[in-house]
Chain A
Amino acid sequence: MKKRFLYAALCLAIAATTSCSKVDNYAAPSATISGKTVDEATGETVQTEIGGGGTRVKLLEISYSSNPVPEYFQSKQDGTFNNTKVFPATYKVSVEGPFVPIVQTDNTGAVISDASQTITLKNTADLTFKVQPFLKVEWVGKPVVNADKSVTVQVKVTRGTTNPAYQQDITNINLYVSNTQYDGSNNYDPRYSNLVSYSGATGTALLGQTITITTTGGALPDQDVYFRVGARINAGLNEYNYSTPMTAN
């Protein structure tokens, strides 16, 4: 009995030591793609939200296939991006987000413009994409704390493009309130945020004007609170353009 147990143990030991010795011999992805998406008119980065509803970078590895499955990575909230785990290869790089698409097609699918950048990535690449955001949301002054501890902000929303295909009406101008700076349509406190939908041209009529928005739900809590205003038109995937996040004081 004991002997059989020893044999079994020996077999197991042999099996354990002779398992596949071929380690993964492919070097880990080590190249870096970084850069930013900027408004071609102002040179400022295009604000976006974190997560799936914001700007993302699209990589087509054309050294692998002429028709590759695209890979994506998400931009940061401030419009910059950085991916340090990319395989060295030739990529066609573009960005997708709340701005006039880098690759534009007409209604039959024909490509009418393509501002993708093709790079041969060895170590690092730093890319700047100049785009036309659908909307620009700018602060007018700083958020003001009212007597009842609610907060009033003022913003100005303007169009970032004159492209006739992207002049849809404004559907939403929202003041988001959050206790982190990662403020946006997917991360806000619904008790205090003030969300306004517009139908027809009523939202569009606010273009260029100073818009005053006050938080809802009374007094804000005594803690760090970040404010951010998002606005959108019904174009593409209906994503928001944002102001920078700002605190009240």
Chain B
Amino acid sequence: MKTIKTSIGRRSFIKRSTLASGGIMLSFNWLTSCDMTASQVRALPKEWFKINGFLKIGENGLVTIMSPNPEIGQNVKTSMPMLVAEELDVDWNDVIVEQAPLNTSVFKRQLAGGSQSIRQGWNSLRMAGATARAMLIQAAAQTWGVDANEITTSEGQLIHEASGKKSGFGPMASLAAEIEIPEEVPLKELSDFKIIGTSRKNVDGTKIVTGEPLYGLDYSTENMLIAMIAHPPAFGMQLKSIDDSLAANMPGIKKVFTIKTHLGDYGLGAFDNDAFNDVAVVVGNSTWEVMKAKEALKAEWELAPAKKEELNFFGRTATVETPAGLESSADHRMVFDKMAKKKGKVVRKDGNPDAMFSKAAKIIERTYTCPFLAHNTMEPMNFYADVTDERANLVGPIQTPEIMEGSVSKRLGMDKEKIDIQMTRMGGGFGRRLYGHFMTEAAVISKEMGQPVKLIYSREDDMTQGTYRPAYHALYRAALDEDNNLIAFHVKTGGIPESPLAANRFPAGALEHYMAEEWTEKSNITVGAFRAPRSNFIAGAEQAFLDEVAEAMGKDPIDFRLELLDRAEKNPVGENNDYEASRYAGVLKLVKEKSNWTGADSGVSRGTAAYFCHNSYVANVLDLEIQNGNPVVKKVYCAIDCGIVVNPDAATNLAEGGVVDGIGHAMYSAMTFKDGMPEQNNFDKYRLIRHGEAPKEIEVHFVDNQIDPTGLGEPPFPPIMGAMANALYKATGVRHYNQPFITDKPLAG
């Protein structure tokens, strides 16, 4: 039997019990069954017994499981408690899920990012459930005077077969809570799973469809004020002064002032976005009054100087330089052209690519670009803060509560122990809420007001604040010999201000002669992680280029990739290849089979792509038709290897979303600039994919294996962009190199 060492402290759940009452977070959650008929909801227990920081059991057998990580729509609030419930061996219908607050003494890595929640929680969450189960068994053994090894469990029942004794978890819970935590506990065999691997509905589903308060923007307390900020209209500008004479005297307005998000000697942390440090603040009684006063607020802006700042990225320090000036997208295109001609920094070189390119019979050279993107979570940035001299109570949508607690602590000069953070369900994340400047701002504003405030960004504030996906450029070259064999491969890629290169990913390792170069160019337009950072561009570019190479070689695009992967598996070039060629090939083979790759319906144009990122493998086949001059995605096949799938239907939903998101951004979305000003500030100018543009059908298949779960939030997003480009080419004969494709060249050829 597999066992796991426990690492939960007895007292861990007692710490931080001072969270403010009131508001939505402590309210009763529906049972996970989503059953809405009151008569069918089991009565809440009279008493809860905390077994450990992850769960408590009621005397009637109901179990409350804390979901540790922030929920941004990736469904961890359902799937993480499923892991606990599995090893506790409880009936899922007897489980209530609650969102845990930030509690670093109990939970590890309470962070939504990098597709890591399930991967990193896989052992610790099962351990929490298994530990509680072991303690319940001990309690039953003591009560019945039998050997603990003879007691089994099943769906919330303790059973001693020899004596015929049987009990629900409830009656044993109070004693179990007193049992010493075992040092090692057994884990189930995969074949014994009853919950993991079965589809369970979103635990917040009922609340979502009935409009109950769930999100940060929905949170309120009785004497709470509303705050909004005004930041400079352009990157490269800063606040000079404000004239509050009009705004401060408008109805419902309490105060107009300015704040510094970070103080001069702050030392930026990894997620302290610093686009606009000085902002104007309007505080009042209601959102509409504050919005109107904000419009009436007169502010003077001035050009910001270049700056140098010390960045502390989890202990690694670096000096970050931000240039002065007002940048335009036209300037960025010139940067692309300039840098593409210069030698980049060689990150990887195998064999002698220069020599091979010199003697090539044919060289294919193609250039790909993409624009900056705004995350555009549907719920704009916001946070609630109640800061006094003694305490700070912060509630809202944040992907990095632990890291931002450090930022708030530093800014307020307040010990972390005095700061409580509750995470609300988030109206989207996509990386945007890793950067919690809005939380720091809310705390500073509340302190200034001496009253609780909810800071709300308007859509315009949200879209024009920065933290964008960088603008990227990639130049690909392939050398073919006289027999159309691929003899060398070269990528030179860069971005403003970051490079998207992953030098050791496929096709590195599959080619004797390979070179990867990168470059970067500084900018004062601030960027941040955006769903599948770097991969969200380079995957599509690389997969579109490979399609063109395969065509030039006269090969089927899937077979071409499989041949390269076969080489990478059997006889890899270099030692530092960060993917498993067999799993990569596995998703391609699966999508080939499920899509009946060579048997497309007539009139349908097919494109394919595959990519590995965030520890998982995804391959697509995309079927497209041109109807009335418009591309219509008839069907997408998606094959995924992310190890064990915890909640299949929810995982399918996430993959479908990744497909739609990828097509949407490749086809329609862009953030452009004129003299430092974002040219898109709301959804009338910033185009997101809409209903009629989504694929008519998406079919998702998971590789069935017993590998511990890897990641799923990000991997389905990047490759579909390549599949879309490749299908468009098949349909129209025109290749699209510049995202968004809709502004690149006519879509219908």
Is the A/B pair a real complex? no
Listed in ascending order, the chain B residues whose CB lies under 8 Å from chain A are none
Listed in ascending order, the chain A residues whose CB lies under 8 Å from chain B are none
